[in-house]
Amino acid sequence: MIPEPTGGTTQLYEPSPVKRFRRSDAEILTIKSAILDIVYEDHPMTLRGLFYRLVSAGLIGKTENEYKNTGRYLLQMRRDGTLPYSMIADNTRWMRRRPSYNNLDDALRRTAHAYRRALWTEQSAYVEIWCEKDTLAGVLYAETDAYDVPLMVVRGFSSETYLYEAASTMEEAGKPVHLYVMTDLDPSGVSIAADIERKIRGFIPDTDVTVDRIAVTPEQVTAWQLPTRPTKKTDSRAKSFTGESVELDAIPPSTLRRLVRESIETHIDRDVLERTRDTERMERSALESIREHLGGGA
């Protein structure tokens, strides 16, 4: 079920050449036009994901300087209104704040609008998606949110506390657990996935836990001709790793979302899902009725 991305050839990451060049206005316009086509076709996406798409299309070289150029072009296009800000994902910065309301009516209105019945309570399994990179959270969230699935962003190797608390939630579910992990294909990425599995199993040995690393895999690199980069020799884990490395961002956003969606849907009983959603609609209507009874409804 691998076939999906098309275009481009596998390329090695090469250091930025010393010689500098200046693009003509026409060449820059060509790249910006390609950026528009790529982003409108497959959004939201990250800056690094866009960079890899331009590299695969042969429009830019795979260097650090070209990555910076891509960011500069993208910033210009967003500032001049050519490209909506919302189409580029960046979940590396966020705000903590408790919800607050203008008044009781406002609270009831928002509660009725946001009310959601737990989707997995009556399903036979419990599912989570784990992703190494927080920059991709905005790319994947639409799929996990649609099915009420936790999106766990690990930012490298997870702390004992994070994994213990995650394992406790899985144990409380009281049913088979399926974790789908997405990491770079490099010594650290492969080790991160193994570390998650080993520690989760250690915390809840009596829980049926299945862990699948669904990206990036060697098969995907070959089938989709994903751009590669040299594996860092300074990584202490490189001794047990063979071949070039590939970043998760090199997979097109639509393909990443498909991988997540298909993994989740494997465990969905559609009849149970419909019953849950029917109940949710009735309960939301009940909340609206309470609001109207209290004089909030217009």
Dist. CA 226–CA 247, nearest whole Å: 9
CB 51, CB 261: distance < 8 Å: no
125 or 52, which is more confident?
A: 125
Of 150, 88, 127, which is closest to residue 262 (Cα–Cα)? 127
CB 208, CB 215: distance < 8 Å: no
pLDDT, average across residues 232-238: 81
CB 138, CB 49: distance < 8 Å: no
77 or 18, which is more confident?
A: 77
Residue 10 reports pLDDT greater than 70: no
Q: Specify the length of the chain in residues.
A: 298
CB 50, CB 38: distance < 8 Å: yes
Q: How confident is the model at residue 73 (pLDDT cuts 50, 70, 90)?
A: very high
pLDDT at 89 (0 to 100): 83
Assigned token pair, 189: 């990425």
261 or 157, which is more confident?
A: 261
Dist. CA 158–CA 82, nearest whole Å: 39
pLDDT, average across residues 27-31: 92
pLDDT tens digits along 142-172? 999 999 999 999 988 888 999 999 999 999 9
Assigned token pair, 182: 């997405």
Between 27-41, 93-107, 243-257, the lowest mean confidence (pLDDT) is in 93-107
Q: Which runs of E-coded beta strand occur in the chain?
A: 126-131, 151-153, 177-182, 209-215
Residue 3 reports pLDDT greater than 70: no
pLDDT, average across residues 177-205: 95
pLDDT tens digits along 273-296? 999 999 999 999 998 888 888 865
245: helix, coil or strand? strand
Dist. CA 7–CA 15, nearest whole Å: 23
CB 224, CB 247: distance < 8 Å: no
Secondary structure tally for the chain: helices H, strands E: 10, 4
